[in-house]
Amino acid sequence: MKITNVEVKTVPISSPIRNAYIDFSKMTASAIAITTDVIRDGKPVVGYGFNSNGRYAPTSLLNERFIPRLLEAEAKDIITDDGTNLDPHKIHAIIMSNEKPGGHGERTVAVGVIDMAIWDAVSKIEGKPLYQLLAEKYGNGQVDEKVYIYAAGGYYFPDKGLKELQDEMKGYLELGYKDVKMKVGGASLKEDLHRIEAVLDILPSGSGLMVDANGRFDLKYAIEFGEKIKDYELIWYEEAGDPLDFHLQAELSKRYPHAIATGENIFSLQDATNLIRYAGMNPEKDFLQFDCALSYGLVEYLRILEMLDEHGWSSRRCIPHGGHQMSLNIAAGLALHGNESYPGVFQPFGGFADNYAVEDGYVKLPEVPGIGFEAKSDLYNLLLTIGK
Ligand SMILES: O=C([O-])CC(=O)C(=O)O
Ligand SMILES: [Mg+2]
C-alpha cells in the first residue's frame, strides 16, 4: 500500500474573542488530506487532519519539510511490517528525521496535523472508530461509552457585561453541559472577581466552574489571585503563569489548596516530563491538558502517557485542550478524565458528531470508522474542499 496524494490548505478559525493573552480575530489552521491507494466502500481511503486553536496554521512548514519527507520515504519505511496499513510510529520517525532535539517551536503543530490524518486513515483502513482501535491496541481494551466534557467559554468580547456572561453560561447549561470554564486575567482583579461571582450566581448545585488565566500572571499576582479565589472551590485554576515557568507553578502549588490545570502549551514529551518533575503538580488532584494536535500528535501523546504512568500519574488526570474529535477519541479509548468543548467557537473544527447531544456533561461518539469527521457535516464539508 502507499500514499498517493497529500494536499494541505490554510483556513480561518477566527472568532472575535479575547483571552488574557491574545485575540483570535486572525487565528488560522492548516487542514490536510492524505490519500492512500487502499479502497474501502469503493473509494480510496483519505485521512484528514488539522491543528488545534491557539497556534497559527503551520502550512509553510508542512509544505517545505514535513510533507516532502513523507512523500519521499520508501513505502516500507512508513507501513506496518505486514504491509497492510500505515504505521504512525514509523511515519513520526520519518518526518522528524534531520530535526534537532529541543526548541520544538511550531514544528510540533505541523507534525500534529500529519499525525491526525495518519490515525484517521489507519483506523479507516482497519474499519473501526479510532477510539476502538486505541482501546484495543494501546489501552485496556475497554472503551468509555461516554466522555465527560465541559464548556469552555467566558471569553472577553467587546461590550460583553456580566449579564451577557451569565447568559452565555446559562446557554451552555441548556445545551446539556454541567461544568463551565471562563477566562480571567484580561481585566482588573476586582473586575475578574465580579465576573467569577456572576457566573457562580447562576450555576445550579452540582455544576462547577474552572478559570483560565492563559499564562498571564507573574508569581506574585498568581498567588494573590489564588488567595482571592480559593474559597470559591473552583474545579481548577488553569495556566496561572507562563507555561514553561515551572518554578512559578511549584510555588503556586504550595499555596493554592485546590486543583490546578496546565499543559496546553507544553508541546513535547521532554517538556511534559519536566513539568511532572519540577512544577510541583499533584497526581491526586491536578489536571494535565496536553493537546496532541499542537504537540507532535498522538505518537508523542502515547509516550507522554507512558511517562506519566512511570511517574505515578493516572491517565484519568488528563483532559486535553482543544475541543476536537481527535482528543475525544483518545479520551474514550485511553481512559482519560474527559475532553474540552467550545460550544459555538472555533467552528467548524471545535465540537463533536452531529446528532450526539451533550447529556449531563457527557457526550457519546459515533460508530464510524476513523476519527469521525464524516459524522460532523460542517467540518466534513470543509475537509472536502482541501486541494480544490
Ligand atoms: O483561549 C485559549 O487559548 C484556549 C484555552 O486556553 C483553553 O481552551 O483552555
Ligand atoms: Mg486554557
pLDDT, one tens digit per residue, over 70-125 is 999 999 999 999 999 999 999 999 999 999 999 999 999 999 999 999 999 999 99
The answer to whether 297 and 47 are in contact (CB under 8 A) is: no
pLDDT recorded at residue 139: 96
Strands ordered across the beta sheet of 43-50: 3-12, 28-40, 43-50
Q: Ligand 1 pocket, 54 CB below 6 A?
A: yes
Instruction: To the nearest 10°, report the CA torsion of 333, 336, 342, 346.
Output: -60
The answer to whether 208 and 235 are in contact (CB under 8 A) is: yes
Active site residue 324: no
Residue 135's H or E segment, with its range, is helix 130-137
The proportion of the chain whose per-residue pLDDT surpasses 90, expressed as a percent, equals: 97
Q: Tens digits of per-residue pLDDT, 109-165?
A: 999 999 999 999 999 999 999 999 999 999 999 999 999 999 999 999 988 999 999
Name residue 181's beta-bridge partners. Answer: 152, 210
- pLDDT above 90 (res 302): yes
Query: What is the C-alpha to C-alpha distance for residues 256 and 225, in angstroms, rounded to an integer?
Result: 9
- Region for 15 from its dihedrals, namely left if φ exceeds 0, alpha if ψ lies in -120 to 50, beta otherwise: beta
pLDDT recorded at residue 16: 85
The answer to whether 341 and 361 are in contact (CB under 8 A) is: no
Cell numbers for 29:
489552521
- pLDDT above 90 (res 369): yes
Instruction: Pick the atom of ligand 1 nearest to 238's CA.
Output: 9
Ligand 1 centroid–CA 311 distance in Å is 26
What single DSSP character describes residue 74?
Answer: -
pLDDT recorded at residue 344: 81
Give the CA angle between residues 359, 143, 120 to the nearest 5°.
95
Mutation test of ligand 1: which of 27, 264, 265, 318 has the most ligand atoms closer than 8 Å to its C-beta?
A: 264
The proportion of the chain whose per-residue pLDDT surpasses 70, expressed as a percent, equals: 100
The answer to whether 263 and 294 are in contact (CB under 8 A) is: no
pLDDT recorded at residue 166: 98
Q: Compute the residue count for the chain.
A: 388
Q: Tens digits of per-residue pLDDT, 48-64?
A: 999 999 999 999 999 99
Q: Beta strands of the chain (E only): which ranges? A: 3-12, 28-40, 43-50, 146-152, 180-183, 209-212, 236-238, 260-262, 287-288, 339-341, 362-364
Ligand 1 centroid–CA 214 distance in Å is 7
Q: Ligand 1 pocket, 340 CB below 6 A?
A: yes
Cell numbers for 304:
507522554
Q: Tens digits of per-residue pLDDT, 311-321?
A: 999 999 999 99
Active site residue 183: yes
Q: Before 129, cis peptide (omega within 30)?
A: no
- ipTM here: 0.99
Q: Which ligand is nearest to the CA of 340?
A: 1
Q: How confident is the model at residue 388 (pLDDT cuts 50, 70, 90)?
A: confident
Q: Which residues contact 51 (CB under 8 A, 6 or more apart)?
A: 29, 30, 57, 58, 109, 110, 112, 113, 293, 294
pLDDT recorded at residue 345: 87
Q: How far is CA 378 from the centre of its chain?
A: 19
Q: How confident is the model at residue 382 (pLDDT cuts 50, 70, 90)?
A: very high
pLDDT recorded at residue 26: 93
Atom 4 of ligand 1 has which residue's CA nearest to it? Answer: 54
Ligand 2 centroid–CA 333 distance in Å is 23
Q: At what angle do helices 297-310 and 325-333 cross, to 10 degrees?
A: 40
Q: How confident is the model at residue 362 (pLDDT cuts 50, 70, 90)?
A: very high
Which amino acid makes up residue 8?
V
Query: What is the C-alpha to C-alpha distance for residues 334 and 320, in angstroms, rounded to an integer?
Result: 12
- pLDDT above 90 (res 245): yes
Atom 1 of ligand 1 has which residue's CA nearest to it? Answer: 19
Per-chain mean pLDDT for the chain: 97
Instruction: Pick the atom of ligand 1 nearest to 181's CA.
Output: 9
Q: Ligand 1 pocket, 321 CB below 6 A?
A: yes
Q: Tens digits of per-residue pLDDT, 167-191?
A: 999 999 999 999 999 999 999 999 9
